[in-house]
């Protein structure tokens, strides 16, 4: 019994330590850019054995939010998370739609991850659909929403999202595909970059398929429907954090 009590005490202390360390890590990233991300490390390792003829070379340049075109900021919200300013990390309306979609399409679900969830996953986790991974993702999502303002979440997403093979962040993507800085992206250019986010390896901004072109037009229409870049500073939502 004493051995079990010691083991239980150790497990509780270990869990408490892990939770504290994760909270400290998230809090520090409110102020400093991440040195790398879990997804970048995974992609680098995977490139050693994949059969893609294109060499894997990391392209990544951090830019503060005010150095990224507002069109690009709006494009990722329109494409990935139109209720970004309204939810606290989890969009339960979209989750419900995804579950209904899954039930109606024999298990093929639509995405329902918010920008906050995607930041948590890209920074700290691995690919996969296990309940353990989803539970850890949920924990980091809660921390991110509690400890960061919405603008920091958007800034982080725009700097760590993958836009192509080895291309991470809006600045690197803009330089790679448009030969200019992210601050100068137009609405159409931003929408095309956002169009490849679901699968940036198969979908390419530099050689857009008909699907990417169609998705680009849809995103531009959604950007207009949100009210343009004025949506980025909604007075009623500015006090969320």
**Angle in degrees, CA 187, 191, 195, rounded to 5:** 175
pTM across the whole model: 0.88
**Cα maximum dimension of the chain:** 67
Q: Which residues of 54-90 are buried (b: 16+ CB within 10 A; e: fewer)?
A: eeeeebbbbbebeebbbbbbbbbbbbbbeebbebebb
The dihedrals phi and psi of 163, each to the nearest 5 degrees, come to: -115, -5
pLDDT values of the chain reduced to their tens digit, one per residue, 241 residues: 677 767 667 666 777 787 889 899 999 999 999 999 999 999 999 999 888 888 899 999 999 999 999 999 999 999 999 999 999 888 887 777 766 665 555 544 446 789 999 999 999 997 777 888 889 999 999 999 999 999 999 999 999 999 999 999 999 999 999 999 999 999 999 999 999 999 999 999 999 999 999 999 999 999 999 999 999 985 554 444 4
């Amino acid at each position: 019994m004493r051995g079990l009590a010691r083991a239980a005490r150790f497990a509780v202390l270990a869990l408490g330590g892990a939770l504290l360390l994760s909270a400290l890590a998230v809090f520090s990233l409110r102020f400093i850019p991440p040195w790398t991300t879990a997804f970048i490390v995974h992609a680098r390792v995977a490139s050693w054995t994949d059969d893609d003829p294109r060499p894997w070379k990391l392209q990544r340049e951090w830019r503060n939010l005010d150095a990224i075109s507002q069109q690009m900021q709006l494009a990722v919200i329109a494409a990935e998370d139109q209720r970004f300013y309204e939810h606290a990390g989890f969009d339960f309306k979209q989750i419900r739609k995804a579950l209904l979609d899954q039930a109606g399409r024999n298990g093929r679900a639509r995405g329902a991850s918010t920008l906050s969830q995607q930041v948590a996953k890209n920074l700290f986790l691995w690919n996969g659909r296990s309940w353990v991974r989803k539970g850890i993702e949920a924990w980091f999502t809660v921390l991110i929403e509690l400890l960061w303002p919405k603008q920091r979440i958007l800034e982080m997403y725009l700097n760590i999202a993958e836009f192509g093979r080895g291309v991470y962040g809006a600045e690197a993507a803009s330089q790679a595909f448009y030969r200019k800085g992210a601050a100068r992206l137009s609405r159409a250019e931003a929408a095309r970059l956002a169009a490849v986010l679901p699968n940036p390896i198969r979908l390419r901004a530099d050689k857009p398929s008909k699907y990417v072109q169609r998705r680009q037009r849809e995103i531009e229409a959604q950007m207009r429907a949100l009210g343009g870049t004025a949506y980025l500073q909604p007075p009623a939502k500015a006090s969320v954090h």
